[in-house]
């Protein structure tokens, strides 16, 4: 399923604000906030190295973590982070407190397998990905690391909808009102315009 739970050590921050965040960063730490679960937000500072490797290691936003704040262990799900636009290092992280029954909305990446077993792609069709990730509503402790689309046997003109994906119990797409397209196998210009038409009708505002 997911990478499993990991633990991060943190210290509570008394003062918040721009100057304080800069001071935290000067110490080689990252300012962060834990919020949610009907409790007041808690400002903390985390090890820069820990967070840098977690963010760049993948799966950061889909894996529940335990943060040890001076001996008090808090279960969280990373919700958002800011990276320095130039140097790509983390500036701030938002964590959401999660309990036993917390449900969350998470964007989960789509993995495609067996591309080499697709007759349509062999004949020159291309995999046209409409959604590289899908937003799901699910229990915080069973977030899928990714969802899989099997291209085995797919032909030009085939399309893959969310209904074709096997989802773990309790995991459901946030978009409920239609069976949206995740990808199509496009071939000739006709097949391409047809799949674009479908994408335009269902996924993106159609430009006339």
- Residue 207 within any structural domain of the chain: no
Q: What pLDDT is recorded for position 191?
A: 44
pTM: 0.73
Q: Count of domains in the chain? A: 2
Range list of H helices, the chain: 18-26, 48-57, 119-122, 189-202
User: Final residue of a domain: which of 80, 99, 118?
Assistant: 99
- Residue 87 within any structural domain of the chain: yes
Q: What pLDDT is recorded for position 206?
A: 42
Count of CB atoms within 10 A of residue 3's CB? 15
Q: Are residues 20 and 72 in the same domain?
A: yes
User: Residue 160 in contact with residue 183, Cβ under 8 Å?
Assistant: yes
Q: How far is CA 205 from CA 3, 26, 132, 197, 208, in A?
A: 36, 45, 18, 11, 9
**In this structure, what CATH number is given to the domain that contains residue 157?**
2.170.120.20
> Residue 8 — φ and ψ, nearest 5°?
-125, 140
Maximum CA extent, the chain: 63
In what order do the strands lie in the sheet containing 133-139?
147-150, 103-113, 133-139, 172-173
User: Final residue of a domain: which of 41, 73, 99?
Assistant: 99
Q: What pLDDT is recorded for position 196?
A: 56
Q: Are residues 71 and 142 in the same domain?
A: no
Name the 3-class secondary structure at 68.
strand
> Residue 21 — φ and ψ, nearest 5°?
-60, -40
**In this structure, what CATH number is given to the domain that contains residue 33?**
2.40.240.10
What range defines the domain where residue 194 resides?
104-202
One digit per residue, pLDDT tens: the chain, 208 residues? 344 678 999 999 987 677 888 899 999 999 999 998 888 999 999 999 999 999 988 889 989 999 999 999 999 999 999 999 898 889 999 999 998 788 999 999 999 999 999 999 999 999 999 999 999 999 988 899 899 999 999 999 999 999 999 998 899 999 999 999 999 999 865 444 545 555 555 544 444 4
């Amino acid at each position: 399923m997911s990478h499993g739970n990991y633990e991060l050590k943190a210290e509570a921050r008394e003062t918040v604000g721009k100057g304080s965040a800069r001071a935290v960063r000067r110490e080689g730490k990252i300012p962060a906030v834990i919020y949610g679960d009907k409790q007041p937000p808690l400002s903390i500072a985390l090890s820069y190295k820990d967070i840098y490797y977690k963010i760049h290691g993948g799966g950061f936003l889909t894996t529940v973590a335990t943060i040890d704040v001076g001996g008090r262990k808090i279960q969280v799900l990373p919700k958002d982070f800011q990276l320095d636009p130039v140097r790509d290092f983390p500036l701030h992280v938002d964590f959401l407190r999660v309990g036993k029954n917390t449900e969350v909305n998470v964007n989960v990446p789509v993995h495609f397998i067996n591309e080499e077993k697709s007759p349509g792609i062999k004949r020159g069709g291309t995999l046209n990905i409409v959604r590289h990730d899908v937003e799901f509503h699910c229990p915080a402790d069973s977030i899928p690391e990714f969802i899989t689309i099997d291209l085995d046997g797919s032909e030009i003109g085939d399309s893959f909808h969310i209904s074709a994906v096997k989802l773990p119990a309790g995991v459901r797409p946030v978009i409920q009102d239609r069976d949206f397209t995740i990808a199509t196998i496009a071939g000739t210009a006709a097949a391409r315009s047809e799949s674009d038409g479908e994408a335009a009708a269902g996924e993106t505002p159609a430009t006339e």
